[in-house]
Amino acid sequence: MSLIVGLDIGTTKVCCLVARWNGTTPEAIGYGVSPCKGLRQGQVVDLEETVHAIQQAVQEAQRLADVTLTDAIVGVTGTHIESIPRRAEITISRPDREITDEDLDRLRFQLQQVMLPPDRELLHVIIRQYIVDRQPRVLNPRGMSASHVEAEGLLITGGLTFLQNIRRSVERSGLEVRALVLEPYASGFAVLSQEEREVGVALVDIGGGTSDVAIFHDGFLAYSGIVPLGGTQVSRDIYLMFRISSPEEAERLKLEQGCALAERVPEDERVSYKEIGRLQERRIPRKLLAEVIEERVKELFEMVQEEMVRSGLYEKLSAGIVLTGGGACLPCTAELGRQIFDPLPVRVGTPQPLLGGLSSSLLHPSFATAVGLVVYGAQIAPPPRVPERVATVWQRFVAWYRRSFHGHH
């Protein structure tokens, strides 16, 4: 049996999702979630707290799945992430001119020959298209004849020390890091359809400390950016504005009574909360709470819009915008998005049932990254030992994954 473990280490929580190969599809068999206060905007600020949160989530997942975990596919994000567009070219000089695997390896090697500063680390080399003797948009040139082959791609890099601290946190919790994966890239596997990625879509993953922006076009990740605002900032505004007794009480009020669009809240509704230094609960109009939330979410969306314009791909988002992550769950968030991003369509993305065994509690935007990490892991996992009679089913499944997610790792 082969296990795939997705580990999403966020600003507010750690989620560990375990899946196994059952010969046809990866099947979710357990998960664990624990609160985390060891990160700020994707960066480790308290190693011990982060290690403790990872251990708690992993222990819960192990208990549910009844397995012992040894390694994980780990998500990373933060303002230190950068994407670099790249092109490379090779010449095929053999008499038959046939493009072989060795040629494609050589081209990939050329593509990643960038002088990175010593404080940067390469995370992903994503090939968006091949150009064969000036013919663009070739998806797989293997076996074709050509004298020149070009590759157009995207290099994703991260800050070395930030990535080392994430690695160290995971290793100290008792797991090996099998791969580090850009979180919005992983989330895209979980919540986007192949059609959306083909025609152009922006995924906005609203986390606790940051919001990731990933633009997909022609089936591939074409741009990655980040906005240093997330759901935690919304809770903090509520906490400060209404002098609430604790940040946890502010978070509760946001989740239970919050709304991202004040005009959708009836005038006569009231909400109660505990105020600093008062024994009795305070009551305020729910509309007032919604106004505070709307102001901050609007600012977030405007920053996201600026990031999309900066990408140069804003005009190519035919499938519009998909919001995911825990911060996308407040009522009317997509409706406010439609006002800001008009005329683009906006929807909230929940994980698609690509994994067998996914419980309904995991079909929620806040688990998009964890599910995506497992789907990503399914592509790089070694095939399990399967009996002869199911080998053809397994091969069909592998072929389906490669067709759906070609060139993504």
The 10s digit of each residue's pLDDT in 266-301 is 999 999 999 998 888 999 999 999 999 999 999 999
As a whole number of angstroms, the distance between CA 100 and CA 90 comes to 12
pLDDT score at 277:
86
Low-confidence ranges of the chain (pLDDT < 50): 383-394, 397, 401, 406-409
pLDDT score at 164:
95
As a whole number of angstroms, the distance between CA 158 and CA 77 comes to 8
Indicate the pTM of the whole model: 0.87
pLDDT score at 16:
97
Encoded tokens for 156: 């994703």
Encode pLDDT of 116-130 as tens digits.
999 999 999 999 889
pLDDT score at 137:
87
Encoded tokens for 71: 């390694």
Q: Which residues pair with 34 in a beta bridge?
A: 14
As a whole number of angstroms, the distance between CA 35 and CA 12 comes to 6
295 Cα distance to chain centroid: 25
- CA distances (Å), 331 to each of 218, 257, 259, in order? 32, 9, 5
Long-range contacts, 12-15 (Cβ 8 Å, 24+): 12/36, 12/207, 12/208, 12/209, 12/231, 12/232, 12/326, 13/53, 13/208, 13/326, 13/366, 14/50, 14/53, 14/54, 14/56, 14/57, 15/57, 15/366, 15/367, 15/369, 15/370
Asked if residue 340 lies in contact with residue 303, where contact means CB atoms within 8 angstroms, the answer is no
CA-CA-CA-CA torsion sign (136, 140, 145, 151):
positive
Q: Which of 158, 78, 154, 77 is nearest to 111 (CA)?
A: 154
Encoded tokens for 197: 């990625």
Longest dimension (CA), the chain: 86
pLDDT score at 389:
43
pLDDT score at 124:
93
